[in-house]
Amino acid sequence: MIHEVVRRLFDVEDDSWPSYISWTNLYKVSPGVLGGNPADALAEVQFSHCAKILEAEIMALTPRRILFLTGFLGWAQPFLTKLGFVQDLSVEPPMEASGHILSGSRVAVLPHPQGKPGYPIVTAAVDYLNKA
């Protein structure tokens, strides 16, 4: 799905597409053996540090566009609050939230794509992130 978003945003048709993005996980520590996302208790103890790391990553990279494929409530929202997120008043599904952070980066928040049709998510992300 990320490949398709990058291809559409940057008109990239070759294998260089990963050089157009930076990827990060919101939570840096997760269950090792079982994999997956951290449980609430593990997320809670690391949140403040992870929010600072995300802010440092954004400040270092100065992206014009940020795409969260996490869903808004419970995942992106607490991080975006720390980043001074100014939310657009209206969004249409599958977009869950959109707006910008104080650094000026345009932000799109869509659901995690696992088990969902990719086309609507990709199209919504590209349409919003391509706005001037």
What is the arithmetic mean of pLDDT over 87-111? Answer: 95
Would you state the pLDDT for residue 31? Answer: 85
pTM for the model: 0.93
pLDDT over 70 (residue 113): yes
pLDDT over 90 (residue 18): yes
Would you state the pLDDT for residue 117? Answer: 87
Would you state the pLDDT for residue 104? Answer: 94
Burial class of residue 123 in the structure, from the number of CB atoms within 10 Å of its CB (0-12 exposed, 13-18 middle, 19+ buried): middle
- What are residue 22's phi and psi, to 5 degrees? -125, 140
What percent of the chain stands above pLDDT 90? 86
What's 132's DSSP letter? -
| Choice between 21 and 32, residue whose per-residue pLDDT is larger | 21
| Average pLDDT in the chain | 94
Would you state the pLDDT for residue 132? Answer: 60
Question: pLDDT tier at 34 (50, 70, 90 boundaries)?
Answer: confident
31 three-state secondary structure: coil
pLDDT over 70 (residue 7): yes
Question: pLDDT tier at 33 (50, 70, 90 boundaries)?
Answer: confident
Cα dihedral across residues 105, 62, 56, 130: positive or negative: positive
pLDDT over 70 (residue 44): yes
